[in-house]
Structure 1
Amino acid sequence: MQKPDSLIFDMDGTLWDAVDTYAQSWNLIFQKLDIQRIIKRDELLHVIGMDGKKLTRVLLPEFDEAKGMEIYNAVNQIRREILPTSGGMMYNGVTEGLKQLANKYKLFVLSNCAVGIIPLFLTWAGINEVITDSFAYGTNQMPKSHNMHLLMDKHNLKSPVYIGDTNGDAEQTRIAGIPFAFVSYGFGNTDDYDVKFDDFESLTQYYLSL
């Protein structure tokens, strides 16, 4: 594997776990819209990492796409409001690791989330200064493979690595034609990776040693 010049990170399941806050945002909207339903953490774990349209088809099969996306957008609006205080749980070693890695690589965050979520996460985590740029699915509703190339073109990245926690991440990284690093502590699983890490500390040490 070519020595990387940049590391592009998935957010949910890779850098932090905010599933409880995400569930809360769904349930607040269900309550507001008088939809008799409560989403629990375990239900959301199966859809973390999906883009908005796919996620609504799985979570809201009783609604057509337009209504599903309307509910999804309302959920994300309330999520933007509660995230700064509710936050999530940073995985062990992430905050310090990113600060160390930023001395050697350009760091990016690329997620299948709505617009505005990544900046709130970066601020909450106190890592704004170490992330060069970020990109969210909500910006253009395009798959991660497409958006990886947008970041690569914008920042003239020659040998980036994408780091994620799901098979979907692996598939999109393969389509983009760049190496994939899998973190096994997240929400998903895959056998398709170039390198695998069981914790963020070992990931940090690996990339610092290259």
Structure 2
Amino acid sequence: MQKNYQMLKPDSLIFDMDGTLWDASDTYTAAWNEGLKAMHIDRVINRGELDYMMGWERRRVLEHTFPDYPVEKQEQIYDAIVAAQDRLLPETGGLLYEGVAEGLARLATKYKLFMLSNCPKNAITQFLTFSGLTPYITGQITHGENGMPKHHNIKLLQSKYGLQNPVYVGDTETDQIQSDLAGVPFIFIDYGFGQTEKYALKFSSFTQLTDYFMAL
């Protein structure tokens, strides 16, 4: 537990998307393979490969997946994948984790809610539209908008909205590290794509998280 965290009442909750609010890996996998086909690359990506990289920043993903291609070619591949995702995600979306829709509606009555992800530029908006959860989210920011790491974007949200005591809710060690760099408590959801041993609080369901914060 982070020192004195229990004495703090957050004024806002910032949520990661993939592995925290929903699972859209099947759609992402289809988008990747459509993009690779459009680029005439003879390769098939499976869901397990994408799940392993979930939450990584764009450069790390491209360097890991296409190490033998020059940066310019990597970026062209990425653009093709994002174009496919922009078409597919609004159609097939993903599966909301149990309790997310009801939980965000409840939490929004007490806190300002935000979303922050290392996804492409349009993905959070597509998530919100597909899920019908737009009314509950005050603001959002993606890695695809500015290419910056999560700790930087957490601070941008703090500055823009005047947040005094935000927490970041995520599912990976990367989320934990970035929260620490931003100086905000990390709330770990353990049903997602990653693991970490460092967190302020841990929950095994979104309903459990909702009940906790509504009781503060």
TM-score (norm 1): 0.98
Counterpart CA distance in 2 for 1:36 and 1:131 is 40
Which one of 59, 68, 79 corresponds to residue 62 of structure 1? 68
Select between 55-64 and 124-133 the one with higher mean Cα deviation.
Answer: 55-64
Counterpart CA distance in 2 for 1:186 and 1:155 is 28
Counterpart CA distance in 2 for 1:65 and 1:181 is 35
Q: How does 1:64-79 map to 2 (within 5 A)?
A: 64-79=70-85
1:181 is aligned to 2:187? yes
The residue aligned with 1:168 is 174
The residue type paired with residue 115 of structure 1 is K
Taking only the aligned residue pairs, the percentage that are identical comes to: 47
The residue aligned with 1:156 is 162
Shift of 1:30: 1.4
Shift of 1:91: 0.4
The residue aligned with 2:35 is 29
Unpaired runs of 5+ in structure 2?
none
Shift of 1:28: 0.5
Which one of 123, 142, 152 corresponds to residue 148 of structure 2? 142
1:6 is aligned to 2:29? no
Counterpart CA distance in 2 for 1:50 and 1:5 is 27
* 2:35/2:83 contact within 8 Å kept: no
Q: How many residue pairs align between the two structures?
A: 210
Q: Which runs of 4+ in 1 moved over 6 A?
A: none
* 1:49/1:166 contact within 8 Å kept: yes
The residue aligned with 1:111 is 117
TM-score (norm 2): 0.96
Counterpart CA distance in 2 for 1:80 and 1:12 is 16
* 1:52/1:69 contact within 8 Å kept: no
The residue aligned with 2:197 is 191
Secondary structure, aligned partner of 1:92: coil
RMSD over equivalenced CA pairs, Å:
0.7
Unpaired runs of 5+ in structure 1?
none
* 1:73-115 Cα distance to aligned partner (Å, 9 max, x none): 2211110111111111100000110000000000000000111
Shift of 1:25: 0.5
* 1:111/1:136 contact within 8 Å kept: yes
Counterpart CA distance in 1 for 2:27 and 2:64 is 19
* 1:42-84 Cα distance to aligned partner (Å, 9 max, x none): 1111101001111111111121222112211221111011111
The residue type paired with residue 205 of structure 1 is D
* 1:154-205 Cα distance to aligned partner (Å, 9 max, x none): 0000000000000000000000001000000000000010000011010000
1:44 is aligned to 2:50? yes
